[in-house]
Amino acid sequence: FPCETMGKQLTRGVNAKGRSATKSYARFKFSKKVNPKKVVEEKKESTKQPKWYAADDVARPFKSRKSHHRITKLRSTITPGTVLILLAGRFKGKRVVFLKQLESGLLLVSGPLKINGVPLRRVDQTYVIATSTKVDVAGVDVSALKDTDFAKKRVAGAKKSDGEFFKTETQKTPLPQERKDL
C-alpha cells in the first residue's frame, strides 16, 4: 500500500524510494479512491485532478540548523549606570553612561546629551571600556526603547529616479523630542 515514505526525500535529489514508487505515490496522493470516509468529505471540494504534476522532484528547503540566537553576554563590570569610555566611532574618547542592553546585544548608551553631546546611541560591548564609576540611573526609564527605534527611516514608495534617490538620502531626520528629553 503506498504510503508517505514513498514521496519522502532523504536529501535533495535522493528519494526514499525509486522513481516508480514515487510516481505511484503521486498517483495515490491525488487519487479519489482513498477511503470511503474521505470521499464523503471530498465531495464538497472540487474533485478535479490537478492539471499539473511536478515533473521533477520538488526541492524542499533544508531545515535551518541555526540555534536559538542569544544576546552577547554582558560583561560583569557593566551594569546600568556604569560610566563607559567609547573607543571608536564618532564619539571616541567620550565617557558615557550605560543604560541597558538591547535585544540585539548592543549597549544603549547616553552622554547624557546635554553634558557631552553624546545622544542616545547604540554601541558594541567590544568598543567600550567599563570604568568603576557608577551613576544612579534609577530615575531613567528606558524600557520602551528598542533596536527598531534606531533603524534608519526608509522612505517608502515606488521606484525612484536617480535624482530623487539622492535627495532623500541627504534629509536629516530631526531627533525626536522624546530623545532630547531623556
Binding site for another protein (CB under 8 A): 75-78, 85, 87-88, 92-93, 125-130
Torsion angle of C-alpha atoms 79, 84, 89, 93, degrees rounded to 10: 180
Rounded to a whole number of angstroms, the distance between the first and last alpha carbons of the chain is 70
Query: Based on CB atoms, which residue is closest to another protein, 87 or 182?
Result: 87
144-161 burial code (b ≥16 CB/10 A, e <16): ebeeeeeeeeeeeeeeee
- In the complex, the smallest distance separating the C-beta of residue 152 from another protein, rounded to whole angstroms, is 23
- In the complex, the smallest distance separating the C-beta of residue 2 from another protein, rounded to whole angstroms, is 58
Give me the helices (H) in the chain, please: 4-7, 19-30, 36-42, 113-116, 162-169, 177-181
- In the complex, the smallest distance separating the C-beta of residue 10 from another protein, rounded to whole angstroms, is 42
Residue type, 148: T
Residue appearing with cell numbers 564619539: 91
Query: Based on CB atoms, which residue is closest to another protein, 97 or 145?
Result: 97
Gap between the Cα atoms of 154 and 144, Å rounded: 21
- In the complex, the smallest distance separating the C-beta of residue 106 from another protein, rounded to whole angstroms, is 14
Query: Based on CB atoms, which residue is closest to another protein, 29 or 94?
Result: 94
Query: Based on CB atoms, which residue is closest to another protein, 23 or 100?
Result: 100
Query: Based on CB atoms, which residue is closest to another protein, 28 or 127?
Result: 127
- In the complex, the smallest distance separating the C-beta of residue 91 from another protein, rounded to whole angstroms, is 11
